[in-house]
Chain A
């Protein structure tokens, strides 16, 4: 039988104090993953003495996008990401990923920090943020550290967060100059869909040439990774030199290099290749290249 003491933090200081003083504390934010585990009386609760609700901690909320830097508070809900005008305008791939998550009811509760900290292989928030080169700020009573998001997950459902730390916010450099992005996702249905494969392409371009491309996957690999070989293929190329099909093949090979041949490979290899191909086509089209 599941037993825990429920605590509520009302400020970041109070939250960090509780994490410092007590052991076996599980944080609770939007609850859209954890409440499912609770309903199933999941054995993860065997190791939990305290469930600490952090939804009232205002310091973990809010979106700030400057010219050079941006940050998103861990308790920002997916609904807020979808409706925020600045996100829509400057980082539309984040809004696209957020809008593909769950349903209206789920997006109203589920938070971006919760999505990252839960670290499901299919979590939709990783690929846009890894493409941005984002870092997470992990804060404890003793101070804070910044970790590249691509180094944050060790294995599905396992992150490098220490027991006395909270994921405070996500920080990143804003893309500069002329840039284009594409978010792609395959699920088995439209709403309430678990990603089979998702993907973000973000590219800064200059004078008809890709200056800096960042392609990152979700769900295609056990934990989210940047596709460096595709980045290398795209970087420095003029639009005329880019073959979207080749970019797709490179990504597919890179994925299989990580996962090995699995039962799902005959499906995932062409599917991922096609998603990368579509993303690159999106980029060329948006950039006005009609090769």
Chain B
């Protein structure tokens, strides 16, 4: 089956790619771009491990065909760290011990980033809503919510 031409901006870098008709954004990110921070969990939109940001919105990358987001701007967990060091969200996750096995963490970080980009001072309820599509089987969530609250404070400061 013929491949399709798409152009994506991922973490600020432009890529011209050929994608298959069944290729999911998750596959493109991991297999073609070798950005393996984004994880595949359930593959059916339940767990949020594959969450990335597409045009400012948190999206399950397992539920999107890459061809559907041709021309989009995408941020993955690899886009958080900059030359000046770790992102305030990453620092807060470490500080609050919001990571145990770590498999859900990239998705959690992306959902949290999408929230803080549009709502820099979220309430606890708004944080919970932003993270409701991300499952974590280790932490019990409290440390993660604490970390997002801390990042919001640090980032705004």
Task: Give A residues with C-beta under 8 Å from B.
Answer: 2-6, 8, 28, 30-32, 35-36, 38-39, 51, 53, 55, 79, 102-106, 108-109, 190-192
CB closest residue in chain A, given B63: A35
Contact B45 A5 (CB under 8 A): no
Contact B60 A192 (CB under 8 A): no
Contact B68 A28 (CB under 8 A): yes
Contact B44 A105 (CB under 8 A): no
Contact A6/B65 with A39-B43, A103-B48, A192-B133 known, Cβ cut-off 8 Å: yes
B18 at the interface (CB under 8 A from A): no
* A35: contacting residue among B2, B58, B64, B131, CB under 8 A: B64
Q: How far is the CA of A30 from the CA of B54 in the complex (A)?
A: 13
Chain B residues contacting A190 (CB-CB under 8 Å) are 132
* B64: contacting residue among A3, A31, A36, CB under 8 A: A31
Q: How far is the CA of A262 from the CA of B4 in the complex (A)?
A: 49
Question: For chains A and B in complex, what number of residue pairs have CB atoms within 8 angstroms?
Answer: 85
B152 at the interface (CB under 8 A from A): no
Chain A residues contacting B43 (CB-CB under 8 Å) are 39
CB distance from A25 to the nearest CB of B (A): 14
Give chain B's interface residue range (CB within 8 Å of chain A): 20 to 34
Would you list 14 pairs from A and B whose C-beta atoms are within 8 A, ordered by A residue? A28-B65, A28-B68, A30-B63, A31-B65, A36-B63, A103-B133, A104-B111, A104-B133, A105-B45, A105-B48, A105-B59, A105-B111, A108-B58, A192-B132
Contact B21 A4 (CB under 8 A): yes
Contact A36 B45 (CB under 8 A): yes
* A36: contacting residue among B44, B48, B131, B134, CB under 8 A: B44
Chain B residues contacting A109 (CB-CB under 8 Å) are 59-60, 63-64
Q: How far is the CA of A283 from the CA of B117 in the complex (A)?
A: 38
Chain A residues contacting B131 (CB-CB under 8 Å) are 104
Chain A residues contacting B134 (CB-CB under 8 Å) are 103
CB distance from B79 to the nearest CB of A (A): 17
Q: How far is the CA of A108 from the CA of B63 in the complex (A)?
A: 11
B91 at the interface (CB under 8 A from A): no
